[in-house]
Structure 1
Amino acid sequence: MSGPIKLLIADDHPVVRDGLSGMFARDPDFEVLGEAADGAEALALAKELRPDVILMDLRMPGMDGLTAITELAKQGSAARVLVLTTYDTDTYVVPAIEAGATGYLLKDAPRDELLRAVRAAAAGESVLSPSVASRLVSRVRTPDAGPLTQREIEVLELVAAGNTNRETAVRLFISEATVKSHLLNLYLKLGVNDRAAAVAEGFKRGLLSGP
């Protein structure tokens, strides 16, 4: 991607918006195009400003973040949505990813982690906060969690071959949001936080063949 990563910040707390805007403004790799106080405003500004990444809170008055993510996906928005919230349970995480979010971070994430996550989201990579992943992994490490499904293995194979989420979706005739959902599930089952670790663990477990 040439030029700075263009951001839209959606959060109902002005102090949070100001803090995030100030943080990204200090880094020349980013440009904050605008701020939204709720989901409806985020939708309008996303259409007008065409950001690369939207930092989206989930719980906002009026239209919440989950509804906004769903609407962005329906509208075919090219913006990547990175959820930034205080809620870390699978009640919030899974619906957000399934709705089309590229990643999920908590608001207490360190600055460097947030910057890396935004860069990864802009590149179309799925991002899951380590703290979120560790909590969810502990919940799915039960006898009924089961092995990877055939579809999850197919997704992992395409990721290992270097395909992006969008390319994987095209090859499997599914939506990009569904690919993200499969990635989230296999991350949890493999006990990893990102694509590279998933591929490495896939080879380690014999799920993938090759060098």
Structure 2
Amino acid sequence: MEKLRVVIADDNRQFNMLLTEVFNSQPDFMVVGNSYDGVETLKVVEELKPDLLMLDIIMPYLDGIGVIENLSTMKTKPNIIVISAVGQENISQKAVNMGALYYFVKPFDLNVMIERVRQLVFNLPVKKELPEGMINQSSTKNSINQVDLESEVSEILKELGIPAHVRGYQFLRDAIIEATLDADLINGITKALYPLIAEKYNTTPTRVERAIRHAIEISSTRGKVDALYKYFGYSTSQERGKPTNAEFIALISDKLRLKLKKSSKAK
């Protein structure tokens, strides 16, 4: 059986690499190219003429929608499946209307993704227990690589002494999940991550920042010393003080990201 030729287009290099490893581990897929911005994606697709393009919506220079628009003028177009951390219905619907076969929203289970891609591109029967058209974050509790990120993060926050009823708990949990899947969000925590969480909960970035700060302050007083040392390398009761929002999110998301990579390689 001839392998399906795949190009991965995602500006998050770690996630791009993760998808590459997953596709290359399958007997019927082969990643032939990678790209990290929209303009580069058009060049790679034109040169390699892949069967499938896994396309991130948010990329530098030219976004995923722009890529789809440009590809529509090509004589030979690949099948397109969109991947993004953006869960807005209008964007996903626009991508599908423009020709995308499917729309995945991070986080998602990599095994589910591979099976659904296989169903779409090889015209296999679609399993009815999976939603048609889009897998969204609220309906998919399993994160990539069978590691339930939501449960994993919830356990960590519990260990660090942050109660679930605190408003900042939800914001902090989702921020860690998003940063685990897209490390670049940490570099734009005020301009990208806070607004992303704020939009989801219909609030403001400033309130998100303050609520997360409050949750972290609770952790410094209620968290176990050994747990604080485990994640931050020091007790927040010592002279270094409390970690900043960015430090807190970055350190935990980095540990989870490493766990995802190890889990992927184990397969």
TM above 0.5: yes
CA deviation string 1:97-155 (max 9, x = no partner): 122211101231111211022223323689623437969xxxxxxxxxxxxxxxxxxxx
Equivalent residue runs for 1:1-211 within 5 Å: 2-123=1-122, 128-131=133-136
Deviates more, 1:69-78 or 1:20-29: 69-78
Q: Is the 8 A contact 1:58 1:65 kept in 2?
A: yes
1:48 and 1:121, CA in 2 relative to 1: closer, same or farther beyond 3 A? farther
Amino acid of the structure 2 residue aligned with 1:88: G
Judging changes above 3 Å, is the alpha-carbon distance between structure 1 residues 14 and 55 closer, same or farther for their aligned structure 2 residues? Answer: same
Amino acid at match of 1:131: N
Structure 1 pair 103–66 and aligned structure 2 pair: CA distance change class (3 A): same
1:108 match: secondary structure: coil
What amino acid maps onto 2:99 in structure 1?
Answer: G
TM-score by length of 1: 0.58
- In structure 1, the residue corresponding to 2:82 is in which secondary structure? strand
Higher relative contact order (CA 8 A, sep 6+): 1
Counterpart code for 2:47: E
Matched residue SS, 2:96: helix
Contact 1:24 1:31 in 2 (8 A): yes
* Cα distance in structure 2, aligned partners of 1:134 and 1:70: 29
Q: How many residues align?
A: 134
| Residue segments in structure 2 that go unaligned for 5+ positions in a row | 127-131, 141-267
The answer as to whether partners of 1:4 and 1:29 remain within 8 angstroms in 2 is yes
Deviates more, 1:125-134 or 1:46-55: 125-134
Instruction: Give the letter for the 1:77 counterpart.
Output: T
Give the whole-Å Cα distance in 1 for the aligned partners of 2:78 and 2:138.
Answer: 24
What is the SS of the residue equivalent to 2:72?
helix
Q: Which amino acid aligns with 1:26?
A: S
Equivalent position SS for 1:74? coil
- Counterpart-to-counterpart distance in 1, 2:71 and 2:42: 7
Alpha-carbon contact 1:24-1:30 (below 8 Å) kept? yes
Contact 2:106 2:136 (8 Å CA) reproduced: no
Q: Which amino acid aligns with 1:129?
A: M
Greater C-alpha radius of gyration: 2
Aligned equivalents of 1:18, 1:71: Cα separation in 2: 25
8 Å contact kept, 1:53–1:118: no
Please tell me the root mean square deviation across aligned C-alpha atoms, in Å: 2.3
Cα distance in 1 for partners of 2:32, 2:119 equals 19
Instruction: Identify unmatched segments of 5+ residues in structure 1.
Output: 136-211
TM (norm. structure 2) is 0.46
Distance 1:107 1:133 in 2: 10
Letter matched to residue 51 of structure 1: P
> Cα distance, 1:71 vs. partner?
0.9
